[in-house]
Each structure stands twice: as structure tokens, then as C-alpha cells.
Amino acid sequence: MPSPITIIQCHLDQGNRSSRAGTRVVTVSVFESAFSSMPGRLPGHPAAKRRGSPGSGVSTSGSAAMPGPAPGAPVPPIRPPTDGFLFLDRDRFADSFAADVPAATAAFMADSQVPWGVDALDGAVCEPAWQTRPSWYLVATDDRMIPPAAQRAMSERAGATVTETPGSHAVYVSRPAVVAAVIAQAARAAGWPLPRPPRLAP
């Protein structure tokens, strides 16, 4: 019997946490607008560290996952911590996170966002799966949460098979067929028999 195929799909800082699933259970990794940390660091959400605010205890420096923002680059509207948790500013959520998503959907996403715990911003990745397993990366070229240049740098470091598409950070909502096609490509490469998808329009 062939070994089971485990595909781990990551978005945002799930890329860091999912990497800790370990090489023993991961067959391939699929990153979509996600962080991928180097061993020894788990910066949580580096954008949150960059954002910072007076008295927030959140560093404004860059991280092991990616450098600080270029001058004039969009900065995610992360509010100062409340009771140890971070949220995106609701009024600026759509522009930063979901600019190409219908307004009603973006508003729902803003209202239902799950906060990040400040304590989760630090930690360590011992053996990221992307170092020893194949990986695929979908770069969202209109992302205002993780700069596309940083996505390209992380995908290159991981030796990932890269696809680029126009899209916001919420590319899984605005262009689900593109996301599904990348996951299917990774699955077929891992030996999972899937029918060929129809050719997508650019």
C-alpha cells in the first residue's frame, strides 16, 4: 500500500505554524500569501511586529521571515494590543486585507476576524517542512499585508514552485479557482491522481 499523502495548505502566519507539523507527516506544502520561517525563529506575524505602537510592546523591526517594509509600502492596520490580542482596524480591513472582495463579504470578514495573541509572536521552528519537502507558493501580487517582494523572497528561499496571480491577501476568497489549481498541482506532483483542471483565464 502506498504511503498516505499529506498536503498542508498555509495562509498568512499559518505558514509558520504549519511548518512545525514536521517532515514526518507532511508530503508537500502549499503556501498562499503566507510566511515561511527559518529554523530557530517563529516570528508569528512579522507585520504585527513592524506595526507596533507606543506602549504596545510590539517591535517595529523586520524579522527572520522578511525584512522591514520598503519606504512608502502599505503597513497593515494592526491595532495596539487589547487584553493581549491584536486585531486589524475594522474600517481599514477591506483595503489592506480584502480589496478585491465584495464589500459585504469584506465587512463580514472584518467583523469575524480571529485575533492574534501577542504571546504567539515569538517562538521557534525546529525543522520547517519546506526544507526537506517540496513546496508550492502562490504569490498574490496585490497583497497589502505581506508585500509581494517578501513573498517572492520566501518562496525562492524555500525552493518552491511559484505561481503569481493578481489578488489581495484574501486571494482564497477572490480567486479560489487559482488557489485550488495550485493545490491540485502539488497533489498531482505528490502522486495523488486528480483529473486535469480546465485551463484558467489569465
The phi and psi torsions of 53 (rounded to 5 degrees) equal -175, 160
The phi and psi torsions of 127 (rounded to 5 degrees) equal -145, 85
Domain extent at residue 59: 7-189
Q: Is 53 among the domain residues?
A: yes
Q: Is pLDDT larger for residue 78 or for residue 58?
A: 78
Beta-carbon neighbour count of residue 91 at 10 Å? 9
Distances (CA, A) of 38 to 23, 64, 140, 197: 15, 7, 21, 33
3-state secondary structure of 172: helix
Give me the number of domains the chain comprises.
Answer: 1
Q: Is 44 among the domain residues?
A: yes
Q: Is 51 among the domain residues?
A: yes
Judge contact between 49 and 59, C-beta under 8 A.
yes
Q: Is 197 among the domain residues?
A: no
Beta-carbon neighbour count of residue 197 at 10 Å? 12
Q: Is 129 among the domain residues?
A: yes
94-124 residue pLDDT tens: 999 999 999 999 999 999 998 888 877 766 6
Give, in degrees to the nearest 5, the angle at Cα 160 between 154 and 163.
Answer: 95
DSSP lists the bridge partners of residue 163 as 138
3-state secondary structure of 108: helix
Distances (CA, A) of 154 to 121, 147, 195: 18, 11, 30
Q: Which of 9-18, 115-124, 156-165, 188-197 has the weakest average pLDDT?
A: 9-18
3-state secondary structure of 56: coil
The CATH number for 68's domain is 3.40.50.1820
pLDDT at residue number 107: 97
Q: Is 40 among the domain residues?
A: yes
Strands (DSSP E) found in 35-168 = 85-86, 116-117, 135-140, 161-165
Percentage of the chain beyond pLDDT 70 is: 63
Q: Is 30 among the domain residues?
A: yes
pLDDT confidence band for 176 (50 / 70 / 90): very high
